[in-house]
Structures are given as C-alpha cells and as structure tokens.
Amino acid sequence: MNRQSLITAPIEGELKQLIALMHSSLSSDYDLLGQVLEHISQQTGKMMRPILALLMAKCQGEVTEKTLHAAASLELLHTASLVHDDVVDNSQKRRGQPSVNAVFDNRVSVLVGDYLLSTALLHGSLTKDVHIIHLISQLGQCLAEGEILQLSNVSNETISEETYFQIIRKKTAVLFETCAQVGALSAGASEEKVEWARNIGEIIGVTFQIKDDIFDYSDNAATIGKPVGNDMHEGKLTLPVIHALLSTDNQEMMALAHKVKRQEATDEEIARLIDFTKKEGGIVYAEEYMQRLVERAHTLLAECTDESVRTALATYIDYVANREK
C-alpha cells in the first residue's frame, strides 16, 4: 500500500463524501464566478488539512455530518486566504499553476476570496456547534493577524527565531491545529483529547512550514513549483538563514539580510545569502529542528488506540516532513 493509501485508508468513504461536498461548494451557475471557482478547483492540492480533521474524528469516534461540514469550512477558509494572499504578494503562481489574480485580476480575486470565506462560514454554521464555529471564526482572525505580522516584520530591524515562529504559528500551524481540534470535537471528544489533538496539529503545522521554507533553498524549482529564493525576493527571512546569521555573527551577511527584508537585494545578492546559509549549516539546523518535532508527534500518537488511524497519522506526519514539494 502506498503512502497516500495508508493515510486515507481509515477514512476512504468519508473522504469521498467530503470531496463531493467541496465540489458542490466550488461551483456556480454564474458565468464569471463559475469560471473562477473551476480554476480554483483544478488547483486543489492533496487536501491534507481536512484529511487531518477526518482522521482526528475517526481516532476519537466517528466521522459525522458535523465533521464533514467543519472540514469543508476549514478547507474553504484556507483556500480563501490563499486567493487573498496571492493578491497581497502579487504572486503569479499557485502550486505551479497561474494564480487567480494572474488569470483574472485583483478585483475578481478579492471578491471570489470573500465568496469563499462566506461559503466557509456557511458550512461552519451547518455544524450547529458553537464551539466549532468559534474555533473556525478565531482561525480566520488568526490567519489575518499572521499576514499583518509578516508585513510589519519587513520593517523590523530585529532578526530572531522567536519572531519567525510567532509568524508561522499564526500563518500555518494554527490551521493544522484547528483542523485537529475541530475533528476531535466533532466526534464528541473530551477536553483532554481535544487538547491532545491540538498539540499534534500544531506540531504538524510548524513542521509543514519549516519544510516549505527549506524548499526555498532547493535547486529543483521545477519540481517544487516555486522559484529558488522566492521567499527572499518577497522580503522574508526563514529559519535556515536566521540560524546561519545568528550563529556566525557575520556582519556583511547581516547587512545583506536587511537589504532582503527591504526588498532591495539583487538576484546575485540573494544567491550569495542562500549559499552562505547552506555553508553555515542553516538547512541542517532546520532539518534537525523539524525531526525533533516529528519525534515528539510520534510519541503523542501512542495515545491513539485505533491502530489503522494511528498508522495513518504516523504516515501523515512522516509525509509532511519528507515530502518533495
């Protein structure tokens, strides 16, 4: 059985129901809206976040209608945030394909992002669970805070791991965290079990973002779907380069890093900073940090009594840490 099959084996039928629910949410009889939603549906990834919600529900009991609507809500909220992020970052690509704003324009992207957000809230309301609705609403607020924090950090002269982790927890980890929480909640889990799920979700989210940041230093841009140094071109400093800078106290490279933050660095200067990061062990440090998180997650998974779900979640975690794009 391949990795994807291992992950989805315990929820195969429920995942088909979720995909059908997502398909109906990403369609419209209105011409322009229908075209944009079709474009978005063709860019749908592996649905790792809603799969996490389904697995956590299965671990604590059963996947219910409440679980399905909650998972759809979370995936639609995530999709809305990506559409809006591409406008903010002026990104022309999303998962290696033209972004919504590249194919249509910023006005359409913002409006369709709003439509997706409203549809996400609609699915949240269909759970008829105040706690789940609260977590989904809180997630939307947190994702926006993360984006604003990242924007404000560009003008912040201080370069620190603390700020990096603060941003990625709000931008990425909180989404996985909420998916895990909501999944457990939808199955009627106790507060203790919901907190257990939340902890695993947070670890997965931080690991996911560190791995994503490591890709920025890869020479295999075609496979990954984002250009080398893309984060630096957008003024973002991630864990590998932050560690390299702080562990060496190289003033020349630190000055260059500040140019990156101001988006004033040339391609050649960014290439130099990437090379410096690799030589000073920044990639190795990030990979080791990520591996410690994975080990912690596997330890927590011992509490999952359903063997098939435990295997699925263990495979899921290893995939997040070892994926190639």
> What residue segments make up the domains of the chain, in order of their start?
3-322
Q: Please report the pLDDT score of residue 203 as a whole number.
A: 97
Is the CATH number of domain 3-322 3.30.1380.20? no
Nearest to 170 by CA among 52, 109, 81, 296: 81
What span, in angstroms and rounded, lies between the C-alpha atoms of 124 and 140? Answer: 12
Q: At what angle are helices 191-215 and 174-186 packed, to 10 degrees?
A: 150
pTM: predicted TM-score of the whole model, two decimal places: 0.92
The residue ranking higher by pLDDT, 156 or 276, is 276
Q: Please report the pLDDT score of residue 227 as a whole number.
A: 66
What span, in angstroms and rounded, lies between the C-alpha atoms of 182 and 188? Answer: 10
User: Rg of the chain over CA atoms, in angstroms?
Assistant: 20
Please name the residue that has the structure tokens 């549809």: 119
Residue spans of beta strands (DSSP E) within 74-218: 93-94, 97-98
What is the overall mean pLDDT for the chain? Answer: 91
Distances in Å between the Cα of 126 and the Cα atoms of 16, 45, 130, 133 are: 19, 24, 10, 9
Model pLDDT for residues 26-77, shown as the tens digit of each residue: 988 889 998 988 888 887 778 999 999 999 999 999 999 999 999 999 999 9
Going by the DSSP 8-state scheme, the letter that residue 115 receives in this structure is H
